[in-house]
Amino acid sequence: MNFLVNHNEDIYKVWKNYRGNLKLTSLDIQKDIVKVAATVTTQVILDDLGDDLFAILIDESHDISVKEQMVVVIRYVNNEEKVIECFLGVVHVSNTSALTLKSGLESLFAKYGLSLSRIRGQGYDGAMIDRQLQELNNHFPEVNTELLLCVACLSPRDSFSAFDKERLIRLAQFYPSEFSQVELLTLDCQLENYFLDVCSDSEFSELEGIDDLSIKLVETKKYVVYPLVYLLLKLSLILPVATTIAEKAFSAMNIIKNRMRNRMGDDWLNDCYTYIERDIFVDVENEKIIQHFQNMKNRREQL
């Protein structure tokens, strides 16, 4: 705060003219403001996700105070057909056993009204998690060579030269919740017609990746004609391939929770991660922040 006062003329004027006992600068007030910022930012992410399916990326590490931490990132395709990876939270865990990690994940999901049943892909990093989390893969097999080869058959490059209907049917079989036996037969027919359609359409001739393909299917309304093909494509897009954001979160943890701040609780620490998703936060209207802040409790002064 002192830095902003000394380096921003507008803030300095407000600070100078405000009544001394109502500057709203106490530690508790600052924590409330940060909590509101984190809450609103997370809600923007959850609203963007909606009721759609998603994948999770999990990383584990120790922070500077040597506490076990689990970072959770969600990966999904938004309404603009863009693949989005967003930080969801850091969970303190007593150990990295599968049961403890699963419990921590369930607790975080309950906090945000998410369901494990919507997960359609899992990615892990960290040696302990790689060994201990296998039982979390019961719903979805580990991403392996066969799965990646199947996904590659969706590529639009070189006039869909990698297209292989049998492998794409195999890919759909990895998702029994989405593709029943009847739907697999329907998918078989849709794939044949889809391949002939896109190969003869010049709008699909210059596409490079499956993300471009997803966007083009929506633009041309072909996703309506081939809904099961589009679903297969969307499920492929959310497959976790890296934990870049998770690694960024741990880097941020070492900045926020340094030796001078090792008394920070997990809630306070989590709220400070707003700046990891600062690209989302900067678009949040100040009025939303103010309204949430005022609704938290009765205060002597308005923000």
Tell me: the pLDDT tens digits for 3-15? 667 777 777 777 7
What does each of the 303 residues of the chain score in pLDDT, given as a tens digit?
A: 666 677 777 777 777 776 555 556 677 777 777 888 888 888 899 999 999 999 988 876 655 555 677 888 889 999 888 888 888 888 877 776 778 888 888 999 999 999 988 988 877 665 344 444 444 454 444 445 678 789 999 999 999 999 999 999 999 998 999 999 999 999 999 999 999 999 999 999 989 899 999 999 999 999 999 999 999 999 999 887 544 555 555 555 555 555 445 555 566 666 666 667 778 877 877 778 778 777 777 665 665
Please tell me whether residues 77 and 47 are part of one structural domain. Answer: yes
User: Model pTM?
Assistant: 0.73
Token match 């991660």: residue?
Answer: 273
Please tell me whether residues 272 and 123 are part of one structural domain. Answer: yes
Domain membership of residue 294 (yes or no) is no
Choosing from 215, 237, 259, the residue where a domain stops is: 237
Please tell me whether residues 179 and 166 are part of one structural domain. Answer: yes
Q: Return the CATH number at 46.
A: 3.30.420
Pairing of strands 54-62, 83-92: unpaired
Name the residue among 47, 33, 20, 1 with its Cα closest to residue 290: 33
What is the spatial distance between Cα 87 and Cα 273, in angstroms, rounded to a whole number? Answer: 8
Please tell me whether residues 113 and 158 are part of one structural domain. Answer: no
Angle between helices 145-152 and 165-173 (to 10 degrees): 130
Domains identified in the chain, total number: 2
Domain membership of residue 217 (yes or no) is yes
Please tell me whether residues 134 and 250 are part of one structural domain. Answer: yes
CA distances from 48 to 83, 157, 271, 280 (A): 12, 29, 20, 11
Please tell me whether residues 216 and 88 are part of one structural domain. Answer: no
Please tell me whether residues 153 and 216 are part of one structural domain. Answer: yes
3-state secondary structure of 142: coil
Domain membership of residue 303 (yes or no) is no
Q: Which residues pair with 257 in a beta bridge?
A: none
Residue 186: give the domain boundaries.
145-237
Please tell me whether residues 248 and 131 are part of one structural domain. Answer: yes
